[in-house]
Amino acid sequence: MNVEAVMTRNVKFAGSNATLADAARVMAESNCGAVPIIDNEKRVVGMITDRDICLAMATATRLASQIPVEKVMAKRVFSCGPEDDLETALQTMQSRKVRRLPVIGDDGKLQGILSMDDVVVHAEVGAGKRAPEIGYGRTVETLKAIYRRGIQARPLPV
């Protein structure tokens, strides 16, 4: 099974010129906890989570509407392609300890997002002789590896 079969296609995002308030608004309107940050060509330049925003605001001396996402977002983004094998994407999630991978097309542009939520929803128990394309065991293995991580602090904006 490839990534395209389970990814979320209608992915919400924020522009690289957005503020923390803008990104939080996108998350609230879309009921999601992370959004890719894209440039003018729709290429992913970062990722930001609701946790990133909360931690930044805990020590901020400015309003969320005054802090650019670029100050807080993760600039090192791990991704996959729509035609990538799902197993390969799960291995990336495991080794990089991330729950979401932007799906990038051959043109370098954002096509969707693959989240552990997508994987969990599509996981199934093996039926008879046919092995499931995404098994419960493999899904739980990936989640355990992600959650086993230590605290990785990033500097907060000034």
pLDDT surpasses 60 at 21: yes
Q: What is the pLDDT of residues 24-62, one digit of tens each?
A: 999 999 999 999 999 999 999 999 999 999 999 999 999
Residues paired with 35 in a beta bridge: 48
* 3-class secondary structure, 55: helix
Q: pTM of this prediction?
A: 0.84
pLDDT surpasses 60 at 158: no
Q: What is the pLDDT of residues 66-118, one digit of tens each?
A: 999 999 999 999 999 999 999 999 999 999 999 999 999 999 999 999 999 99
**Which residue did the predictor score with more confidence, 85 or 135?**
85
Question: If pLDDT is split at 50, 70 and 90, which confidence band does 13 have?
Answer: very high
- The pLDDT of residue 122 is 86
- The pLDDT of residue 124 is 77
C-alpha 125/C-alpha 131 separation (Å) is: 8
Question: If pLDDT is split at 50, 70 and 90, which confidence band does 11 have?
Answer: very high
- Containing 123, the helix (H) or strand (E) segment is none
C-alpha 19/C-alpha 134 separation (Å) is: 37
**Which residue did the predictor score with more confidence, 129 or 20?**
20
- The pLDDT of residue 128 is 52
- Taking residue 139's Cβ as centre, other Cβ atoms within 10 Å add up to 19
C-alpha 146/C-alpha 97 separation (Å) is: 4
Angle between helices 136-147 and 86-96 (to 10 degrees): 20
Exposed e or buried b per residue across 8-27, where buried means at least 16 C-beta atoms within 10 angstroms of its C-beta: eeebbbbebebbbbbbbebb
3-147 sits in which CATH class?
Answer: alpha beta
